[in-house]
Every structure is written in structure tokens, then in C-alpha cells.
Amino acid sequence: MKANTGNFSSYEAVIDWLFVQLPNYQSQGTSAYKPGLDNINALLEGLDCPQDNFKSIHIAGTNGKGSTAHMLASVYQEANYKVGVFTSPHISDFRERVKINGQMISEFQVIDFVNQSRAIIDELQATFFEITTALAFHIFSSEQVDVAIIETGLGGRLDSTNVLKPELSIITTIGLDHTQFLGDTIEEIAKEKAGIIKLNRPLVVGNIPASALLLIQQIANQKNAEIHFLADSNFETDLKGGYQKENHGIVIKALEVLQSVFPVSEEAIITGSKKVAVNTNFYGRFQQIKEFPRVILDAAHNKDGVEAVFQQLAKMSFENLFCIYGSSNDKDLDAIFNLFPKSAQFSFVEFNSPRSMTVSQFQQLALSHHLNADYYQKSMDAYKSVTQKAGENDVILIFGSFYIFSEILKSFE
């Protein structure tokens, strides 16, 4: 990390510093991963412990964290609470990670925070995610949010967000992802996710494999954390995809458990559930951005997420399926490629990161899995090519890494 050479005068300069000079897992992968809470605790102590100044809900899980967070936020916004949301990664703008009542924080707030905390950041050699977490907590404290809904970055036990003392912890799902950090088995991963369970604070869990659930229950019992299971949800939500029903069931149970802390009316639940995207500016989860042909975006990036997307597609009526896919190189891609329908036309895309799967790697996988495929180095080139081939009754699915979404979404602005 370079020494502090003065204050930043522009948002662009801050973003360049955050992404180029700092250890950044999103772009660098394993080399930027720094587990443990000592650094984040020291950083937050230097900022007068902002995490102690607001109430929070803490969410871990392999899939469904973002959807669950934004559904909760939408309902609480409809109930007139001031709601902060911290999620990762972002698609187009770094500020998507930190929102209050659905609005990204300002560029000035990012610049001001970094300039004010630069000395301690340099002293601690803080990572990108530690700084981002501290930024979110600082903003939520200074803006006096009523509740902050915080998503873990990776895992739970050693995640930078795990300094909170939340009103409620949520574990959405447990699956095999980030195994190089969290463990090779469902049980090992469950133990890491269960690290967010706090003493005498309730826990809500989603549909979790039996062996993982048993371990989570044991840890909850040790911490006297009352465990609650997702409810049956019959409420309509604007987030499409059959898998959202389970996420919404988690939300309904969470709202029920926290009713004495954050009272909400049924009207707020009904309206908030229907207006998640509008209220929170949440997108990229089975989101249709065009008709004739239908163009659908989904951030499915691991086996369970991809399986859920193709299950949803199987319920739809269309003629041909075109898939544009990009992935980081730390996924179980053989398991993911086994889910790809042989009848689809695939376009595999590299993105600008050392973590990206390369065209040659995609070619080997597509060949071994007998897929009909083309290959591109830019997602927009893939999209332009596919739109020339697809008919009005076809579907174009763009999925995988967030990296491939940004350029395509900009073309719709």
C-alpha cells in the first residue's frame, strides 16, 4: 500500500485507490483475502465505534442474502423506518453497496470518509472490504438510521461485518461455495456461517441441509439463541423467480420475530413485498430488462444458484434459449456446467480480472460437456451477437459474475 500522499479531491481518484492499490478480493481473489477481526476492530475503534450506534440485522448464507436484505428493507421503508443496507458486490457503481432508503450514498460521503480515515487505514494496511465495512457503519451511524441490514461478505465467523451485536441473525442457505476459505464440506461451511450467531439474540434460518442445520442448532443452543424457521409466505413480491418464495418466507419470519423491536403493519408487509425493486433499487435477480426477445439477468454464480435459475426457466414457455455466462475461476465449474441444458446456445465471456475464467478454459469445459458455444472477451460483444440471432419468442439469459452485467445494463440507460 502506498503511503498517504494527501487528500483525494475526486470520487474517481478514491475509487481508483480502493480498487487498484488496496487488497481487493472481488478483483484479486485469494491473495486479497484477510480473515480475522483484529484489523476491523482497530479500524472501527479509531472511528469511535460507529457499529454501536445503530440497531442491525445480520445476514449470512450461500445464496439469497441480497434478496432477503432488500425485501426486509422495503417492508421497513414502507413502515416509515430509516433503513440502511450494506451488501456486496456491486454491479455498476461502488456506492450500490451502501444505501439508505434505497438511495446510494453520495460521492462526497465516500471522498470525505476516506480522507478523514486515511491515516488509520494506512497504518493498519486495511483491506478493501474492511474499509467498505467501516464506511457503511460510519455512514449508518452519522445518518442515524433506525435499522441497518448488513450482509456478510464471505462466510461469517471471520467476516469483517461480524463485529455487530444485531437484533437478529439470519442464515439463508448453506451450499458449497468459496470452499478454499470456508471448508470442503457443508458442515464446515455451516460452522463458518453460524459464527454470526450471537449470545441471547434470536436466529432465523432458511431451508438448510439436515447435517448443517444440526450443527447450527447446536451452536445456537450454546449461545442461548432462540432459533426460528422460515414461514410459509403467500405474499406477492416483485422479485421474480420461484426461489424468492423461500427468501420471502425468511423475511416474514424475521418481521414476526422483530415485531416488538420494529413494529410493522400487514399493509407495510403487503406493499413492501410488492415494491422491493422500486423501494430499494435492487436488481439482477431474475430481472427481465427487455421483451421480444425476453432478456433476463440473474446473479447466479454457484451451483445452487444456477440450478434455481434453470428450474425457473423450465416453468416458462419460449422457443430457444441463449445464455451469456461469465465466471470467476474459483467455482466448481464442472458441477455448474452439468446443469447447463444441451439445447441452449451459450456465449462464454471473459472479464477484466485475474479471477476471470479465460476463453481457453471455457472452451475446454464446453467441449467436455458437449455444449454449443461461442466465446468472447467482452460481454457487450456477446450480447450484440446474440441479439442478432434471437427471435421474438426466444429468451436471452445473462448470468454468472456481476462483472458481465455492467456494460450490458449501461446500454439500456
**pLDDT tens digits, 116-135:** 999 999 999 999 999 999 99
- Which DSSP symbol is given to 105? P
Sorted by where each begins, the domain ranges of the chain are: 11-280, 287-410
pLDDT at 186: 86
* Span 89-103, average pLDDT: 94
Residue 33 pLDDT > 70: no
Would 11-280 and 287-410 be classified into the same CATH topology? no
* Span 11-38, average pLDDT: 71
| Residue that wins the pLDDT comparison between 299 and 279 | 279
pLDDT at 240: 86
User: Of the CATH numbers 3.40.50.2000, 3.30.450.90, 3.40.50.300, 3.90.190.20, which one belongs to the domain with range 287-410?
Assistant: 3.90.190.20
* Span 258-267, average pLDDT: 98
Pairing mode of beta strands 294-298, 321-326: unpaired
| Residue that wins the pLDDT comparison between 52 and 283 | 52
* Fold designation for 11-280: UDP-N-acetylmuramoyl-L-alanine:D-glutamate ligase (3.40.1190)
3-state SS string over 357-379? Answer: CCHHHHHHHHHHCCCEEEEECCH
Average model confidence (pLDDT) for the chain?
91
Backbone angles phi and psi of 111, in degrees to 5: -60, -50
Residues 6+ apart with CB under 8 A from 291: none
Contacts 24+ apart (CB under 8 A), 365-370: 365/333, 365/334, 365/337, 366/337, 368/337, 369/337, 369/338, 369/340, 370/342
Tens-place pLDDT, residues 46-83: 999 999 999 999 999 988 999 999 999 999 999 999 99
pLDDT tier, 2 (very low <50, low <70, confident <90, very high otherwise): very low
Q: What is the residue-wise DSSP string for 224-291?
A: T--EEEPPP-----SS-STTHHHHHHHHHHHHHHTTTTS---HHHHHHHHHTHHHHH----SSEEEET
pLDDT at 411: 78
Backbone angles phi and psi of 117, in degrees to 5: -110, 10
* Span 28-43, average pLDDT: 73
Which range scores top for mean pLDDT: 14-23, 178-187, 222-231? 222-231
| Residue that wins the pLDDT comparison between 29 and 11 | 11
Residue 178 pLDDT > 70: no
Judge contact between 308 and 243, C-beta under 8 A: yes
Residue 29 pLDDT > 60: no
Residue 397: Cβ-neighbour burial (10 angstroms; 0-12, 13-18, 19+): buried
Asked if residue 293 has a cis previous peptide bond (ω within 30° of 0), the answer is: yes
| Residue that wins the pLDDT comparison between 110 and 351 | 110
Instruction: Measure the CA–CA gap between 286 and 244, rounded to whole angstroms.
Output: 10
Residue 34 pLDDT > 90: no
Q: In this predicted structure, which of 18-22, 296-300, 385-389 has the lowest mean pLDDT?
A: 18-22
Residue 86 pLDDT > 90: yes
Judge contact between 205 and 213, C-beta under 8 A: yes
Judge contact between 175 and 186, C-beta under 8 A: yes
pLDDT at 1: 37
pLDDT tier, 25 (very low <50, low <70, confident <90, very high otherwise): very low
pLDDT at 284: 87
Q: Say how far residue 310 (Cα) sits from the centre of its chain.
A: 20
Determine the straight-line distance between the first and last CA of the chain, rounded to whole angstroms: 36
pLDDT at 177: 54
- Grid cell listed for 237: 413480491
| Residue that wins the pLDDT comparison between 186 and 336 | 336
Instruction: Measure the CA–CA gap between 323 and 309, rounded to whole angstroms.
Output: 12
Tens-place pLDDT, residues 146-176: 999 999 998 889 999 999 999 999 999 988 6
- Grid cell listed for 197: 450467531
pLDDT at 64: 92
pLDDT at 20: 77
pLDDT tier, 31 (very low <50, low <70, confident <90, very high otherwise): very low
Share of the chain above pLDDT 90, in %: 76
Tens-place pLDDT, residues 320-345: 999 999 998 888 899 999 999 999 99
